[in-house]
Structure 1
Amino acid sequence: MLETIRLRFEPISPKHLEDAADMFCTNNRVMASTLKESVFTRSEFDSLLHTDFINEQEPVFGFRCVILKESNRFIGVSGIHKIKYQDKEYCEFGFILNDSHWGQGFATEIGHHWILYAAETLQLDQIIATVSPHNLASRRVLEKLDMKYMDQVTSADRGDRIILGRTLS
């Protein structure tokens, strides 16, 4: 089981589906600085579920639900994805947290987890994360995790992104 001291990472399941849909489809504050930089339609969310969410125990890459252990409550999504920027393939970790859980150290805890997982379990040499240039709080989290500026890119589906990376070996 993937977990930290306070959090568990679970495949998407019916018990968390509506909480995830609510965050992606109605929470403008959260979605303004993530993925497509706006809320999703339900159809877009359903498509994302089928392409980017893990729904089984075994798969490595994709979004998992972030569950607060003490309450068994959905607080966001996180995971590692394979992604291509400027003709180079990377493994990227990311997190999207419901705004009611911002500022409590969860993003840093999640980042530590995925960096350790990438180094020890996946045996990667490098991990990256991307952030909107306007999302200063998330950029500070990534810098606190010893991730360094690599580049800034613009993609059709995610807009402007700053790439930060960390060597793991």
Structure 2
Amino acid sequence: MQLETNRLKIVSFEAELFMPLYQLFCGNETVMKSAFKGRKLTKKEFLEVLSNDFILKDEEQIGFVSVLDKNTGDFIGFTGLIPCDFLGDKNDLEFGFVLHQDHWGKGFATEIGQFWIDFAKNELQKHRILAAASPHNHASINAIKKLGLTEVKEITTKDRGSRLVFSKEF
């Protein structure tokens, strides 16, 4: 998968992205405290996420992908669409984004979110999209609300802890 927004390239896993992803997942406490398990992952956990959840073939559409700066090629973070049943529908998809802190506050989260909303609606013919964020991650919550998603409920998951669930109908 290689797709684009105005400023970003969204790409499936490539070998040269292993180290930037590994450093983000396993070495970046600042970013990971509000993502996934609320902590850095172990190498084993990271390898499981990489093999189970990342898009490894270009024709796949559901899973995690890397985000690169279109002009410089710099690694910005990762994003993706994943199946979820937060609202009791196994056909729902959740979009998310985890960005390196060097790229916070530049509008990338909103740009990525709009990309997934358009993709889910136009390419996948979905009728709604969901997003979930830690109640303490105010920047993500603001980006999600800016995209027109509405808070539906708070849930607690085994792996991710407390999350606010947001929804947007098309």
Structure 1, unpaired ranges of 5+: none
Could you tell me how far apart the structure 1 residues matched to 2:12 and 2:61 are?
Answer: 11
2:52 corresponds to which residue? Answer: 51
What is the aligned counterpart of 1:103 among 102, 105, 110? Answer: 105
Could you tell me how far apart the structure 1 residues matched to 2:132 and 2:96 are?
Answer: 7
AA aligned to 2:114 is H
Alignment RMSD, CA only?
0.9
> Among the aligned pairs, what percent are the same residue?
38
Tell me the number of residue pairs that the alignment of Structure 1 and Structure 2 aligns.
Answer: 168
2:141 corresponds to which residue? Answer: 139
The 10-residue stretch of structure 1 (78-87 or 60-69) with the greater mean CA deviation from structure 2: 78-87
Could you tell me how far apart the structure 1 residues matched to 2:89 and 2:162 are?
Answer: 17
Structure-2 change in CA distance of 1:86 and 1:148 (3 Å) = closer
AA aligned to 1:60 is Q
2:34 corresponds to which residue? Answer: 33
TM-score (norm 1): 0.97
Aligned structure 1 segments of 4 or more residues deviating by more than 6 angstroms: none
Could you tell me how far apart the structure 1 residues matched to 2:7 and 2:18 are?
Answer: 21
Structure 2, unpaired ranges of 5+: none
Tell whether 2:127 aligns with 1:125: yes
AA aligned to 1:101 is H
Measured after TM superposition, the shift of residue 86 of structure 1 is 5.7
Q: Secondary structure of the residue that 1:149 maps to in structure 2?
A: strand
AA aligned to 2:127 is D
